Amino acid sequence: MGALTGKVAWVTGAGSGIGQAAAIALAKEGATIVLTGRRKEPLQDTAATIKKAGGKADVKPGDLMKAAAVTKIAKDIEKKYGRCDILVNNAGLNILDRQWAKLTPAGAEEVIDGNLSSAFYCTSAVLPMMRKQKDGVLIHTSSMAGRNISLLSGPAYTAAKHGVVAMSHTINMEECVNGIRSSVVLPGEVATPILDKRPVPITAAERKRMAQSEDVGDLIRYVAMVPAHIVINEVWITPTWNRGYVASLNRGKG
């Protein structure tokens, strides 16, 4: 029996990358996983992997940038399982035309809705269930762009991920009296499909040196399993070969 047996975990952005890795890691600990993302087929692939290993998974596709869609999924979870113990708020996106010189209002809206609004919608949807339980863990995937301001990720993504960090801390400030804990995970560069949206392509060799989805998924598993009297408020996870650090070192040699 796993440490999370009997728990229900809702994982967003679960069709690939960090979300998929987190879903598989939580399932191995016995949690029943509800998988959400915009595309059904990748979610089904994740579910198949979980079930092949003896786990339990339920596919609930939906556009998390739409509050009504989020509310419907949360109601379905409550109706079927009667609870939601863990929310992994992982859905996110970025765009190629991210610099101010190219960024359009539509592009900014897509990035902010995909990374910040969706996280707010999912959080608001599960908190009532968690208050009833007097227990619950929310784990939000932010980014090092949520703490460090640079041009790499673009202003919309950077602002949205800063918002996710702030959101998580406010949950603890209000909901700690209800036994609810909120953690924000800030990965550095991770070899996930979102890298394909970088204006400057990332090589295969560079991706191998980055953190991998499974590394972050295992961290999320750990955060979900800490004792109820403990909250890991914020945690960074970055590759040892940090390209930003290496670039600074090389400039210092010039």
Catalytic residues: 157
- Is residue 13 helix, strand or coil? coil
Give the residue carrying structure tokens 């409550």. 78
The torsion of the CA quartet 192, 140, 15, 2, rounded to 10 degrees, works out to: 110
What is the bridge-based pairing of β-strands 136-141 and 56-59? unpaired
Q: How far is it, in rounded angstroms, from Cα 41 to Cα 205?
A: 29
Contact 121, 89 (CB under 8 A): no
Q: What is the DSSP string of 130-184?
A: HHHHT-EEEEEE--GGGTS--SSS-HHHHHHHHHHHHHHHHHHHHHGGGTEEEEE
Q: How far is CA 205 from CA 21, 202, 208, 209, 210, in A?
A: 21, 8, 5, 7, 9
Maximal C-alpha separation, the chain: 62
Contact 136, 84 (CB under 8 A): yes
Count of beta carbons in the 10 Å neighbourhood of residue 220? 28
